[in-house]
Chain A
């Protein structure tokens, strides 16, 4: 299957700072990327969907000004947690899909390994 990477795998930051998490598709073009959040011992909750070159679509209850998503290229999406607070501490997972017709991994969704964010 296709490979999705995330960087960093973990990050610790002070309250009030901003943190950027990268999600990359390594061997396919990710026309769409999804960002999920997972609290300890809970399931994944979709935060937003981003299509390359356009604005992200946020799920209800997710603050778009706090969780900035940029999907500027077909292989990279970034999630920036602005003015992070301890309640933003969580495990963030991205996934990606390729919607280019005829592509080897067309319309399959592949998940990254996740990023553990701890805000002190």
Chain B
């Protein structure tokens, strides 16, 4: 069965600092990996996705993620965090782009001024 672990429930960073959110997955084949962001009371917005090819993927809002098969990880990064980045971030894995996704528990990001 596929699973996703986001080890950090909460993370607080200062505005302008760099950010890395961790995601580890368990999947038997080549995974499809996603990062979503959710603002309070809102639905999910796709930040980026990895299907194949270059293991460093660029997303919206200045985010990037790196797929490391040897570590079963897909960590999300941003070089300089803005106050508007405060939100809940979910990592997800699927067996293809459109099938049922398994979500991690989420990481709540808080940004200090």
A-side interface residues toward B, CB under 8 Å? Answer: 1, 6, 32, 34, 41-44, 46, 49, 91, 93, 97-99, 106-109, 111-114, 116
Task: List chain B residues, Cβ under 8 A from A111.
Answer: 36, 43-46
A109-B43 in contact (CB<8A): no
Partner of A114, one of B42, B94, B96, B101: B42
Q: Are B101 and A113 touching (Cβ within 8 A)?
A: no
Chain A proximity of B98: nearest CB distance (Å): 4
Give the distance in Å from the alpha carbon of A111 to the alpha carbon of B108 in the complex. Answer: 20
Chain A, interface SS category? strand
When distances are taken between beta carbons in the complex, the residues of chain B under 8 Å from A41 are: 108
Residue contact B42 to A109, C-beta cutoff 8 Å: no
Complex contact A44–B103 (CB within 8 A): yes
CB contact under 8 A between A108 and B43, given known A43-B104, A43-B105, A44-B103:
no
Inside 8 A of B53's CB, which chain A residues have their CB?
none
> How far is B41's CA from A109's CA once the two chains are assembled, in angstroms?
20
Extra contacts besides A99-B98, A109-B97 (9): CB < 8 Å: A1-B46, A6-B43, A32-B98, A41-B108, A43-B104, A43-B106, A44-B90, A93-B43, A111-B43
13 sampled A-B residue pairs with Cβ under 8 A: A43-B105, A43-B106, A44-B103, A46-B100, A46-B101, A93-B43, A97-B97, A97-B98, A106-B98, A109-B94, A109-B97, A111-B43, A111-B46
Taking a contact as CB atoms under 8 Å apart, the answer to whether A108 and B105 are in contact is no
Chain A residues with CB below 8 A from B103, complex form: 43-44
Contacts of B99 in A (CB 8 A): 109
Query: B28 to nearest A CB, angstroms?
Result: 19
B98 x A112 contact (CB < 8 A): no
> A44 CA to B34 CA in the complex, in Å?
14
Shortest A69–chain B CB gap in Å is: 14
